Amino acid sequence: MTPTRSKTVLFLLASLASLATCDRKPAPPAAAPPAKVGIVILKQHSVVLTMELPGRTEAYLTADVRPQVSGVVTRRIFTEGSDVSLGQQLYQIDPATYKAAYDTAMATLQYDRAALATARAKATRYKPLAAAQAVSRQDYDDAVANSGEAVANIATAMASIEQANINLAYTKVMAPIAGRIGRSSVTPGALVTANQTTALATITQLDPIYVDVTQPATTLLRLQQELAAGRLQRVGPHQAKVTLLLEDGSSYGAPGILQFSEVTVDEGTGTVLLRAIFPNHDHMLLPGLYVRAELHEGTNDKAILVPQQAVSRNPHGDATVMLVGPGNKAVLHVVQTTRAIGANWLVTGGLAAGDKVIVDGLQLLRPGMEVQATEVAEDVSAGAAK
């Protein structure tokens, strides 16, 4: 075979191979497997709704100790920072001048009583003499008037004795309330005046103790609406339970009770004052302490909880979740959430019991994709799916 003929044969074979290749159709691509995801099947739960609010402790009772008579303090009869009882003597003011005034009032009473006896005797003697015209009618009337004047003088003397006795008692400065007394502003030898502006000491009753917190008026309105609709139940018939978190983050052991809520809204802040009362037997809570009160608003017996990792936001800011829809296809759904409970969101709209919410495998998932779902356990106590 000549070289020219060999090249021709090779060219014909290559052309036949090219034609055979062009007649073949490409194989269709293999179908993508369903995306594996973890889901939580929603159920209704009974959830105690709480709200954490900042607040300050306030003393249950506070009384400034002030003198009610003037004089020199001779003794201080208490230890600063100690507990005092109601009516316990705290100071002694020099009673000498008040004792003298009391003695003078007593002596005046004795004098007036003697004058009354004399006036009555004279009026008794003049009565028959006036009837017999042995003495003038004017003399008899004067004797009767002197007797009445002596009675009035006795009443005045008794009032003076009472006033002197009160002032003498006020020289002993007593505790107006029971509680813990602070530092003394005076020492023995100091001159004090009645009803002075500077308190001698201040007594504070610490057990029980108040905690004042503020709550947005809009939240209070929402709670009232939920109570009226029957979605919430009070912890007690007319009282709500309150717990405390101290400034260091620890929990205060004893729970408190909500006393009242203010009837007006602060125009500047739009908040309402709430006052709770707590037992404080060991005096751990002191007035002015910063605390966080956890208010137990009520119970939602039909709460829908969704793990927070299942909730995202769309460009409009709406909360969205991925559900397993018909045909095991992923469906994007808009929901309404109100608050976080642990690691869950409390959902008030857009979901119902029995919905299958995707919580795992969301990174590459898109709406409409086919999924292979595996249920994971829902941990309501911890607020997350595990």
pLDDT, tens digit (0-9, with 9 covering 90-100), for 49-104: 777 888 899 999 999 999 999 999 999 999 999 999 999 999 999 999 999 999 99
In this predicted structure, what is the pLDDT of residue 275? 85
* CATH architecture label of 35-46+302-385: Beta Barrel (2.40)
Q: What is d(CA 154, CA 325) in angstroms, rounded to the nearest whole number? A: 102
Q: What is d(CA 335, CA 180) in angstroms, rounded to the nearest whole number? A: 54
In this predicted structure, what is the pLDDT of residue 245? 87
Q: What is d(CA 211, CA 254) in angstroms, rounded to the nearest whole number? A: 13
Domain ranges (residues) in the chain = 35-46+302-385, 50-60+208-301, 67-93+174-198, 95-170
Q: What is d(CA 35, CA 373) in angstroms, rounded to the nearest whole number? A: 8
In this predicted structure, what is the pLDDT of residue 230? 58
95-170 belongs to which CATH class? mainly alpha
Low-confidence ranges of the chain (pLDDT < 50): 19-20, 381-386
Query: What fold does the segment set 50-60+208-301 form as a domain?
Result: Elongation Factor Tu (Ef-tu); domain 3 (2.40.30)
Q: Which two tokens stand for residue 26?
A: 């490409």
Q: What is the DSSP string of 6-61?
A: HHHHHHHHHHHHHHHHHHSPPPPPPPPPPEEEEEEE--EEEEEEEEEEEEEEEEEE
From residue 11, give the alpha-carbon distance in Å to each of 5, 16, 96.
Answer: 10, 9, 144
CATH tag for 67-93+174-198 (out of 3.90.950.10, 2.40.50.100, 2.70.150.10, 3.40.50.300): 2.40.50.100
Q: What is d(CA 210, CA 50) in angstroms, rounded to the nearest whole number? A: 19
Taking each helix axis as running N to C, give the angle between helix 137-170 and helix 96-131, from 0 to 180 degrees, rounded to the nearest 10. Answer: 160
Q: Which two tokens stand for residue 359?
A: 């919580």
Burial class (CB within 10 angstroms; exposed 0-12, middle 13-18, buried 19+) of 201: buried
Query: What ranges in 57-95 are assigned the alpha helix state H?
Result: none
